[in-house]
Amino acid sequence: MNVIYGLLAISILVALVFFVLFIFSVKKGQFDDDYTPSVRMLFDDELVKENPKTQNKNSNNQQKQS
């Protein structure tokens, strides 16, 4: 049953990793604006454009479908 020490250590380590990630994300300002990213996420299609003319049409179509 000594495995319980190992399991405890692992579970707390995993929790700590997420906790530290949370602290860093707050520090970097990820939670300062909780609205814009949700909208920005949907724009990604239009941002990458190699051939403006054809891509533009495609993205327009995608817009209508969605």
Long-range interactions of 11-16: CB distance < 8 A, separation 24+? none
**Which residues lie below 8 Å from residue 65, measured CB to CB, with a gap of 6+?**
none
Distance CA 46, CA 56 (A): 7
Tell me: does residue 60 bind other proteins (CB under 8 A). yes
Would you give the binding string for other proteins spanning residues 12-41, x where CB under 8 A is met? Answer: x--x---x--xx--xx-x-xxxxxx--xx-
Residues at the site binding other proteins, with contacts judged by CB under 8 A:
1, 4-5, 8, 11-12, 15, 19, 22-23, 26-27, 29, 31-36, 39-40, 42-43, 46-47, 49, 52-53, 56, 59-60, 63-64
